[in-house]
Amino acid sequence: MGSGQRVAVFGAYGHTGRFVVAELVERGYVPIVSGRDAGRLRELAASYGPGPGLDVRPAPVDDPAALDRALAGAVAVINCAGPFAVTAAPVIEAALRAGIPYVDVAAEIEANLDTFAHFGERARAAKAVVIPAMAFFGGLSDLLVTAAMGDWTSADEAHIAYGLSSWHPTAGTRTAGAVSRERRDGRRVRYSGGRLEYHDDALPTLKWSFPEPMGAREVIGEFSMADVVTVPSHLTIPEVRGYMAAEAARDLAAADTPAPVAVGGGEGNGDRRSSQTFVVDVVVRAGGVERRAVARGRDIYAVSAPLAVEAVGWVLAGRTRGVGAGVLSAGAVFDSVGFLGALSAHISVELFR
């Protein structure tokens, strides 16, 4: 548990940032809440009432001195402010200056690639741990692929099927999608033949057999999420394919789908999760043999908080599989089965291998 250690959350008053702040408080850390709007940070802190409270330290992303003040005395930083194309580099730079681990929840393929490309060497040299996409997309899926692999070091294919009951996107999700689309000139991306491939093919509609009770569902194939970066960063798998439940993909595409709403009241210590449920069904194949990992839970935004906060706890405790430092994906840095087991209050996982 945190026992009063300070962890900075950049983008603290965003939808995901609030879940991360709540998770840190629950685990005994003192969150330093940072971001560009001082008023919204103060409001967030006030909502926690009297007590040890939150440490409010505003910082725009283009002010290195303010970022340094925000990270002073922190043992780690979690970046929840997207678009990460804008925020990741300056917050990583600040984390490197402060000599503390950096974790983000980025689901922007190009921004995730940039983090590996631009900071790999420097993070290694600085003996710093940088973990991008430590969230539902990218992090959880990578842990599941790694867990399903077991003793395999390579495989022919990995298939990651997202069975979301619905997808009410936040403003941040919509912005991330728009920024990524613009960065790839409206093209699509898939991971095939051992590399990322940009293309203009229509995405196929397929049937995926999710485990019961969900069963067979229509999915959109080649629906690439951050796992096309995180999985190949440490596993030799030439085909990494994503699939998204067709209803959820339609929700995401529709301009009028509302943002997620808390069903448990949402204020104070209430349950701020939405009613959305998820099944992530991962299948890996090697030489005609199939292994599988299935995760179930509620609310893809809410569940990103225990993923990111658990990661900070494991890095601070040195539970990093001897990989040392650098830009690392969740499955590379943590014992995937142990890590997923530690999250059993939030995610139920079954392995078939």
Ligand X SMILES: NC(=O)c1ccc[n+]([C@@H]2O[C@H](COP(=O)([O-])OP(=O)(O)OC[C@H]3O[C@@H](n4cnc5c(N)ncnc54)[C@H](OP(=O)(O)O)[C@@H]3O)[C@@H](O)[C@H]2O)c1
Which positions lie near ligand X, rule CB under 6 A? 11, 13-17, 35-37, 61, 80-83, 86-87, 105, 107, 133, 135-138, 170-173, 176, 226, 300-301, 304
CB of 151 to ligand X, least distance (A): 28
Distances (CA, A) of 155 to 51, 128, 145, 286: 51, 30, 10, 5
Residue 97 CA to residue 74 CA, distance in Å, equals 12
Closest CA to 325 of 123, 139, 166: 123
Identity of the residue, 176 or 293, whose beta carbon is nearer to ligand X in the bound complex:
176
Q: Of the two residues 17 and 331, which places its CB atom closer to ligand X in the complex? A: 17
Q: How far apart are CA 213 and CA 327, in angstroms?
A: 38
Output 282 or 291, the one with its CB closest to ligand X.
282
> Least distance to ligand X from the beta carbon of 43, Å?
12
Please say which residue, 155 or 280, places its beta carbon nearer to ligand X.
Answer: 280
Contact 280, 297 (CB under 8 A): no
Return the number of the residue (25 or 291) whose C-beta is nearest ligand X: 25
The Cα–Cα gap between 268 and 169 comes to 23
Residue 52 CB, shortest distance to ligand X, in Å, is 23
Report the nearest approach of ligand X to the CB of residue 264 (Å): 18
| Three-state secondary structure string covering 202-225 | CCCEEEEECCCCCCEEEEEECCCC
Element (H, E) at 24: helix 15-26
Tokens for 327? Answer: 């830009």
Judge contact between 75 and 5, C-beta under 8 A. Answer: yes
CB of 91 to ligand X, least distance (A): 9
- C-alpha span between 50 and 72 (Å, rounded): 23
* Minimum CB–partner distance for residue 174 and ligand X (Å): 8
Residue 5 vs 230, nearer CB to ligand X: 230
